Structure 1
Amino acid sequence: MRNHFFLGLFLAFLILGSCKKQEVNAQQNTNATANLVFINGSIYGHPTAEAIVVNQGKIEFIGSNIEAQKLIGSNTQTIDLKGKMLLPGFIDNHVHAGEGGEVSCLPSNALNIDQQKETLKKCAADVEEGKWVIGYGMHLDQVLGNGTTLNKPIQSLDKIFPKHPVIIMEQTSHAMFVNTLALNKAGIHKDMPDPQGGKFMKDENGELNGVLIDNAGDLVMEMAVNSLANKFSILVEGIKFGLQELKKNGITTIGDGRTYWRRGMLDAWKTVAKDGLLTARVSIRPWIYPTIDKTEQLTFLQGAFQNDIQQLLIVNQVKMYIDGVPENGTARLIQPYTQTYFQDTPYGINYISQNRMVSWLTDLYGIGYGAHVHALGDKGIREVLDAVQVVRSQGSQLKYHITHVAMLDKADLSRFAQLNVDADIQVGNTPLTQQERSQDFVPFIGASRASELLYSPVKSLKATGANVTLSSDWTVYPLSPLNGISVSVQEGAFTIQEAIDAYTINAAKALGLDSLTGSITVGKSADFVVLEKDLTKISANEIKTTRIMMTVLQGKVVYEVK
């Protein structure tokens, strides 16, 4: 009986010791060097772990509270997660975090020009006469209308802005709305040929109607931005705002959507980095201009190249467009549009032709640049894959991605994995089946052709072994990675683990940073996001409303909900 008593007492001590495992002893190891320790957490990818130790910005230990205790020193910051989920910091592979600072006019996306005239008039109130008004918003189809005769935005904008040149970037960024003063300042007239990668939209009488498509608008926007007296400070403030939004959304690394270096954007990013204000790792992607001398651009790119991934500002990939967007009739197609604004280009347009793309990728390979290439149309996607195939045959092992992948011909599905081309996709706000996604394209290509293609095909690409990343293309879609994760899981494209990977380790691979970040691994950078709830234990619909509680970059807390 006495033996049973001592046996019971021994077992009780064991149980008590097990319960105490969740607590870290208050005693500190004065010889330890840990800067930061997380305890009592749900650590993604490590189901038995509850603690992480960080030293000098790197992950030093992943495991139990008890073992973590041994690495706590007198100067160690200890954070009790209280059961919250700790993930690798999110990585958005396509986000325009540094753009928009120059915009001072924000019309509603839900209205056309005439429906918000008074709001637009206010945009010029504080702008000196003759100076540019720069805006962002509205949709092309709303502005033009769907009547037999399209609206003429230039007429409305001339009345609203009689003393100011105005340019308003359409919500997708693939069209600009301008008035006559803007056209005159830019030297654009109705007899000019369309620029490479762009279209001057005209009315039924051959007159300019105030809509500049794709690169035609980009050229004028560059003029407007470069005219601003306080341009550089505006760009810097725009970047600071973007960084604030990134950290609030748990994003610790980004692939820049594009950097218009001729507007001073790269210099602005460098200034922010020099001032120690970066709260995310940024892979800058200088824009390849379709109409600017190639030698000039290559000279700039050689000087801008920065391949030290230990730095927070990296410049080793470029941004290129092969085509436009189907809504404008500028995405490049294998079969002609059944409906388009431009009858003279029934297959869409190229910003950069396939042959020029090969030449560009070859020269960029010589410097060390990979490429993040915009392609929506089935022909555009094929042309990019063909160009990468050539540069791969030359020996390039650099990173190449196609972003959007909106309309994919099934014959090209397996080529992403075969050519080691990453697919970067934005799933939008609403879970949709492939059939539902196809309906958006029926007006442009017809029901028959629409039934033959794949649309932002996350699941199909993943099945081939391709590396698939999710991104926001913010401000086109919400910035929150939780939105993309939720939508992709709800529509059955990804499991929750696959969706998280698409916003972490997969994106790190696409950026060439997987040795540094993207997973919770000893030796990697301590880049984390702490969530209110464990994403693996809630419904897919709940994911998008889960709160970001903390964001950590290189072992430093850059955002925290108090």
Structure 2
Amino acid sequence: MSKSTMMLSSAVLAISCAIAGCGSDSKSVTTPTVKNSSEVSSQVIATKVFTNGEVYTVNPAQPWAEAVALKGNKIIFVGSSEGAKAYLGDKTHVIDLKGKMMMPGFHDVHMHPLESASQATQFTVPSSASEGEYIDAIYNASVQNPNAQWLIGYGHEIATLLEMESSPLAVINEAVKDRPVIIMEQTSHSMWVNDKALQLASINHNSQDPVGGVFGRDEAGNLDGILYDNAGNQVMELAMQSLTNAKQQDYDGLIEYTMPELNKAGITSISDARTYWQRGHLETWQRVAKEDNLTLRVSLGLWAYPDMNDERQISTIKSLYKSSSDSLLKVNQVKFYMDGILVNTTAAMNEPYHTNWLGLYQNKGLNYFTQSRLEKYIKALEPAGFDFNIHGIGDRGIHEALNAIENASNGTARHRITHLEVVDPEDYTRFDKLNVIADAQVAGDFTDPGHWHETIPLIGSERAQDLVPIKNLVNAGATLTLSSDWNVSTFNPFVGLSNAISRAPQNITLAQAIEAYTINSAYAMRQDQQVGSIELGKLADLVVLDRNLFERSALEIKNTQVEMTLLDGEIVYQR
């Protein structure tokens, strides 16, 4: 049950459950006792009425209905098609759902909408290729972008570089020598650079690893052209500063692709999980909002730069806070990285990795932010209204994030830890105890149990079990949200739902998965009193599907099509 639902008094909930079948997927249709058809004033006329549908409300007091009536942007009736007739007027727009399923709009509380669709980067390389193919691709990009100060690319996998016979630095240098080149790896947790980029960033053989990052080196200790985690982030910041049209490219990608495609997928609310406020991301979002072009509710997660002075950063972040219930755009979250990722051996682990190719101290990964430093930010930014979105992949990183919240939080915040790949079982119950939201991504195939064995060489067979343990977390009482981390994984919520119910032994029920994508995520965005379920008085963020999810297999759910998406009572997508 969601945190929002738990706010109801136990007495009212008990009565409602007895009447309507609380938590059941049965389709008993009820008309709310708050206002039934015989009590409707003649002055209450709906602007839109949806009838003859299979309406899944995500409201345990009234799980199913046939009809929904709207007055402007608010829901004024949920019940039977017969009961909805009392709300009809001469100008009411009646939409016959013809048996199709309606549900609340989807939330995606962890994605990268500006980075993923912007054309600010000039080229893409294959995820895997031969040395010669990479040289050709990078050289061709240089020819096609003769005026670019930096060549900025994307797309390879880290394993491809590490398996090269030649040094990755030698390969990229052969392609381009006269201009700096930086290529982001698919997970964004490493960058591939040439000598010119290293020189401009003042990185040489004697350079010390930055906080949260590692300069890749060969067996002889020479730089190999791979910059891990924050070492790569710092150089990418330098590269981005050379672009003169990045803000416009970000804006165009958001307007022309991202928002239309998200609406097409039934998504009505998102959290930007890494708003680089030093790159102009905040200004881009503000421009879209000012021009009244938002077709989503958006919460921005301001990036916490690990190499920035704490006092300066805290002061700046505080000054950027903005949260208004009547605004689609809110600046009310901060994004922190506790650690890196497993495949880089940079995820923070309690016990050492089984391989030690980065040469990290104790071989237990790294920290972008330490526990004590995170506590400092919690104490400073919670009172200003910020909730934290904390990247935690390794069991040590997750444990330290929970410790920081336990030690420093005032208990009213809605912090969440995202990714949750390797979780210490002793920490399962702490999510509920500390009111920490567990945010996971299961839309990517790499999280499927069939791929768990691939991590055995890194962390051993015992720790490679139950990766992304959503079932265990739900059973321990955690408030679960499901998100995409797009573009690491698809933002299609039906893929996420399908995988969530089929990834045994860490699978959950369809009702739980839908709750994770709707009311629980609305709670994480502090808007569960406005959206996230279909209830009287809530705002009409709704989606109509071409099939009833509860009557379909996991594979069939994956192929679901959205017929219509409404934001604030207005149709923003129609098939």
Q: Structure 2 length as normaliser, TM-score?
A: 0.87
Inter-CA distance 151–534: structure 2 relative to 1 (3 Å threshold): farther
CA contact (8 A) 2:272 2:298 kept: yes
Pairing 1:292–2:308 present: yes
CA contact (8 A) 2:155 2:183 kept: yes
**Displacement, 1:246?**
1.1
Aligned residue number for residue 47 of structure 2: 35
**Displacement, 1:426?**
0.9
**Displacement, 1:122?**
3.0
Inter-CA distance 354–399: structure 2 relative to 1 (3 Å threshold): same
CA contact (8 A) 1:54 1:61 kept: yes
Aligned residue number for residue 145 of structure 2: 127
Pairing 1:450–2:463 present: yes
Query: 1:97-112 residue pairs with structure 2 within 5 A?
Result: 97-100=113-116, 101=118, 102-111=120-129
Query: 1:163-202 residue pairs with structure 2 within 5 A?
Result: 163-202=178-217
User: Quick one: which of 430, 437, 440 aligns to 1:422?
Assistant: 437
Aligned residue number for residue 7 of structure 2: none
User: Quick one: which of 382, 399, 403 aligns to 2:418?
Assistant: 403
Aligned residue number for residue 22 of structure 1: none
**Displacement, 1:404?**
0.6
Secondary structure of the corresponding residue to residue 258 of structure 1: strand
User: Quick one: which of 482, 485, 490 aligns to 2:497?
Assistant: 485
Inter-CA distance 340–54: structure 2 relative to 1 (3 Å threshold): farther
Aligned residue type for 1:457 = P
CA contact (8 A) 1:288 1:318 kept: yes
**Displacement, 1:184?**
1.7
Query: Equivalents in 2 of 1:235, 1:551: separation in Å?
Result: 24
CA contact (8 A) 2:56 2:102 kept: yes
**Displacement, 1:431?**
9.3
Aligned residue type for 1:159 = E
Pairing 1:359–2:371 present: no
Aligned residue type for 2:471 = K
Inter-CA distance 61–137: structure 2 relative to 1 (3 Å threshold): same
Inter-CA distance 468–385: structure 2 relative to 1 (3 Å threshold): same
Query: 1:368-379 residue pairs with structure 2 within 5 A?
Result: 368-379=385-396
Aligned residue number for residue 506 of structure 1: 520
**Displacement, 1:508?**
1.1
**Displacement, 1:428?**
3.6
Query: Equivalents in 2 of 1:277, 1:369: separation in Å?
Result: 25
Aligned residue type for 1:378 = D
CA contact (8 A) 1:30 1:73 kept: no
Residues 135-191 of structure 1: per-residue CA shift (max 9 Å, x gap): 11111011221x7xx642222212222333211110001001111121122222121
Aligned residue number for residue 18 of structure 1: none
Query: Equivalents in 2 of 1:360, 1:139: separation in Å?
Result: 33
**Displacement, 1:205?**
2.5
Aligned residue number for residue 464 of structure 1: 476
Aligned residue number for residue 10 of structure 2: none
CA contact (8 A) 1:34 1:73 kept: yes
Aligned residue type for 1:206 = G
Aligned residue number for residue 89 of structure 2: 73
| Residue segments in structure 1 that go unaligned for 5+ positions in a row | 1-28
**Displacement, 1:30?**
9.8
Return 122-131 or 219-228, whichever deviates more. Answer: 122-131
Aligned residue number for residue 159 of structure 1: 174
Query: Equivalents in 2 of 1:47, 1:368: separation in Å?
Result: 33
Aligned residue type for 2:463 = A
Query: Equivalents in 1 of 2:535, 2:142: separation in Å?
Result: 53
User: Quick one: which of 390, 393, 410 aligns to 2:407?
Assistant: 390
Query: Equivalents in 1 of 2:83, 2:249: separation in Å?
Result: 49
Secondary structure of the corresponding residue to residue 78 of structure 1: strand
Secondary structure of the corresponding residue to residue 381 of structure 2: helix
Inter-CA distance 72–185: structure 2 relative to 1 (3 Å threshold): farther
Secondary structure of the corresponding residue to residue 298 of structure 1: helix
Residues 79-129 of structure 1: per-residue CA shift (max 9 Å, x gap): 222211111000111111121312221222243553344333332334234
Q: Structure 1 length as normaliser, TM-score?
A: 0.89
CA contact (8 A) 2:541 2:569 kept: yes
Residues 372-424 of structure 1: per-residue CA shift (max 9 Å, x gap): 100111111100010000123xx231011110111111121211111111111
Aligned residue type for 1:439 = H
Query: Equivalents in 2 of 1:281, 1:372: separation in Å?
Result: 17
Query: Equivalents in 1 of 2:304, 2:422: separation in Å?
Result: 23
**Displacement, 1:432?**
7.2
**Displacement, 1:69?**
3.0
Query: 1:133-152 residue pairs with structure 2 within 5 A?
Result: 133-145=151-163, 151-152=166-167
Aligned residue number for residue 66 of structure 2: 50
CA contact (8 A) 1:551 1:557 kept: yes
Query: 1:244-283 residue pairs with structure 2 within 5 A?
Result: 244-283=260-299
Query: Equivalents in 1 of 2:162, 2:316: separation in Å?
Result: 39
Aligned residue type for 1:138 = H
Aligned residue number for residue 525 of structure 1: 539
Return 212-221 or 103-112, whichever deviates more. Answer: 103-112
**Displacement, 1:438?**
4.1
Pairing 1:551–2:557 present: no
Inter-CA distance 289–429: structure 2 relative to 1 (3 Å threshold): closer
Secondary structure of the corresponding residue to residue 302 of structure 2: coil
Query: Equivalents in 2 of 1:351, 1:167: separation in Å?
Result: 21
Secondary structure of the corresponding residue to residue 454 of structure 2: coil
Which consecutive aligned stretches of 4+ in structure 1 deviate over 6 angstroms post-superposition? none
Query: Equivalents in 1 of 2:102, 2:130: separation in Å?
Result: 44
Aligned residue number for residue 534 of structure 1: 548
Q: Which has the larger radius of gyration?
A: 1
**Displacement, 1:50?**
1.7
Return 299-308 or 382-391, whichever deviates more. Answer: 299-308
Inter-CA distance 39–151: structure 2 relative to 1 (3 Å threshold): farther
Residues 248-272 of structure 1: per-residue CA shift (max 9 Å, x gap): 2111001222101000101111101
User: Quick one: which of 219, 230, 241 aligns to 1:204?
Assistant: 219
Pairs aligned (count): 525
Query: Equivalents in 1 of 2:572, 2:264: separation in Å?
Result: 9
Query: Equivalents in 2 of 1:167, 1:550: separation in Å?
Result: 41
Aligned residue number for residue 473 of structure 1: 485
**Displacement, 1:31?**
5.6
Return 53-62 or 257-266, whichever deviates more. Answer: 53-62
**Displacement, 1:354?**
0.9
Aligned residue number for residue 315 of structure 1: 331
CA contact (8 A) 1:130 1:165 kept: no
Aligned residue type for 1:85 = M
Secondary structure of the corresponding residue to residue 75 of structure 2: strand
Return 80-89 or 64-73, whichever deviates more. Answer: 64-73
Query: Equivalents in 1 of 2:63, 2:381: separation in Å?
Result: 43
Percent of matched pairs sharing the same residue: 39
Query: Equivalents in 2 of 1:332, 1:53: separation in Å?
Result: 50
Query: Equivalents in 2 of 1:382, 1:426: separation in Å?
Result: 19
Aligned residue type for 1:303 = S
Aligned residue number for residue 62 of structure 1: 78
Query: Equivalents in 2 of 1:120, 1:89: separation in Å?
Result: 41
Residues 459-485 of structure 1: per-residue CA shift (max 9 Å, x gap): 000001100111111111111010010
CA contact (8 A) 2:447 2:467 kept: no
CA contact (8 A) 2:135 2:174 kept: no
Aligned residue number for residue 11 of structure 1: none
Return 64-73 or 453-462, whichever deviates more. Answer: 64-73
Aligned residue number for residue 16 of structure 1: none
Aligned residue number for residue 19 of structure 1: none
